Amino acid sequence: MIAITAATLFTPIERFDHPLLLVEDGVIRELTARGERPLPRGAEFVDLGDAILVPGYIDVHIHGAAGHDVMESNPDALPDVELLLARHGVTAYVPTTVTAPLEDTLAALDRLADAIETAGKTGPRPGRARPIGIHLEGPFLSHNKRGVHPPESLLPPSVEVFEKMWQAARGHVALMTIAPELDGAREVITLASDRGVCVSLGHSDADLAAAHAGVDAGARHATHTFNAMRSLDHRNPGILGCVLAEKRLTADIIADGIHVHPSMIQLFLQAKGLGRAVLITDAISATGMPDGHYRLGKFEVDVRNGRCEMNGVLAGSVLTLDRAVRNIMQFAEWPLDQAVRLATHNPAKVLHQEKIRGVIEVGAAADLVALSPAGDVIRTMIGGRS
């Protein structure tokens, strides 16, 4: 058994001062105040001093890091990505595809399914974040709002193509981004949501009616709000009017100050509130690396001064989730416990995993991050191990 103490703990819903957290077999067994019970005999004692203990961060939209793309076949790719993520407080992540020829996507899904199943069998791996599902970003995207997704590989939504991807991923699809205005989208949204996939509206030129039709069909999330979406108009609000106002939708945002201006991030947070806003990185292989040329799927991205571009179009980010949390504290003047919730409990709810991840409570995975009051990562613990 491992006994962990710190100055403060955010569950993140509740606050505990001078907590005592007991962990066994990678699972939280007890949470109490340090003064309320003695340390268990023979327990390994970890004192985090003045640190603030929070759940491990969860990134539900990430294409790569540490020089690697999650779709590549190199066996060192995912371990290197996972090591870098853990250093930035991420304990679980959803590797995200980018639109590619269908056969390439199917091969990548098979490899990602292998990684997810292997991580499930081996249990907690100290120092490495764990893949917990797959995010399909493409191929069911709008040509008008495709961003850098290659137009030749975009496909109209079809049950047949979704079934091929579902089978290749062996049912490990957790999220799927889709443009709801496309012919066939509603049928795919209904099928995917019936299978437990969180269907997310994005890369879309939908008007308001088409966006609401997507929600009625089963969509319940939105992908990188404001980016790759029809612009908001006060007389013709389009998809953004739905994303910001629809209470059935959670929504994520890239809070790097590049993709979305800080003032619009404030508007987003006011619209979605503490319970329905999610932080993502949309990070690519350049994350954690010097400026230069990097891969996103099959194409090359130029990275300079924190901007990732292909032919002048933004192509992902080099944002890390701990930086996103600190940016929310700065941009919106939110306290640490509220900013942390957007990277822990809320993404866990999107994945229907809020009982076992993104929370510190009995029965949940002991995936934890020790932070400074400013939100800097001091230590990441996976299964209770640093």
pLDDT at 193 over 90: yes
| Model pLDDT for residues 76-109, shown as the tens digit of each residue | 999 999 999 999 999 999 999 999 999 999 999 9
Q: How confident is the model at residue 124 (pLDDT cuts 50, 70, 90)?
A: confident
d(C-alpha 100, C-alpha 139), whole Å: 7
Q: Which residue is it, tokens 């997704």? A: 149
Q: Percent of the chain having pLDDT more than 70?
A: 100
Domain ranges, ordered by start, for the chain: 56-357
pLDDT at 216 over 90: yes
Quote the pLDDT of residue 39: 86
Q: How confident is the model at residue 386 (pLDDT cuts 50, 70, 90)?
A: confident
Quick check: 134 and 78 in contact, CB under 8 A? Answer: no
| Model pLDDT for residues 251-264, shown as the tens digit of each residue | 999 999 999 999 99
Q: What residue type is 43 in one-letter code?
A: A
Quote the pLDDT of residue 37: 86
Arithmetic mean of pLDDT, 117-125: 88
**Phi, psi values for residue 16, rounded to 5°:** -125, 130
Say if domain 56-357 classifies as CATH 3.20.20.140: yes
Q: Angle, to 10 degrees, between the axis of helix 185-194 and the axis of helix 208-217?
A: 30
- What's the mean pLDDT when you consider all of the chain? 96
Quick check: 70 and 62 in contact, CB under 8 A? Answer: yes
Arithmetic mean of pLDDT, 46-63: 97
pLDDT at 12 over 90: yes
Quote the pLDDT of residue 291: 95
> In this structure, what token pair is assigned to residue 215?
């929600």
Arithmetic mean of pLDDT, 50-59: 98
pLDDT at 66 over 90: yes
Arithmetic mean of pLDDT, 58-69: 97
- CA angle (156 as vertex; 153, 157 as ends), nearest 5: 120
User: What global pTM score does this model have?
Assistant: 0.97
Length of the chain in residues, anyone? 386
Instruction: Provide the pairing of β-strand 27-33 with 44-47.
Output: unpaired
| Model pLDDT for residues 339-362, shown as the tens digit of each residue | 999 999 999 999 999 999 999 999
Quote the pLDDT of residue 297: 85
pLDDT at 299 over 90: no
Q: How confident is the model at residue 174 (pLDDT cuts 50, 70, 90)?
A: very high
pLDDT at 298 over 90: no
Arithmetic mean of pLDDT, 110-130: 92
Q: Percent of the chain having pLDDT more than 90?
A: 94
- Which one-letter DSSP state was computed for residue 43? P
Give the active site residues.
Answer: 282
Quote the pLDDT of residue 123: 79
**Phi, psi values for residue 303, rounded to 5°:** -115, 120
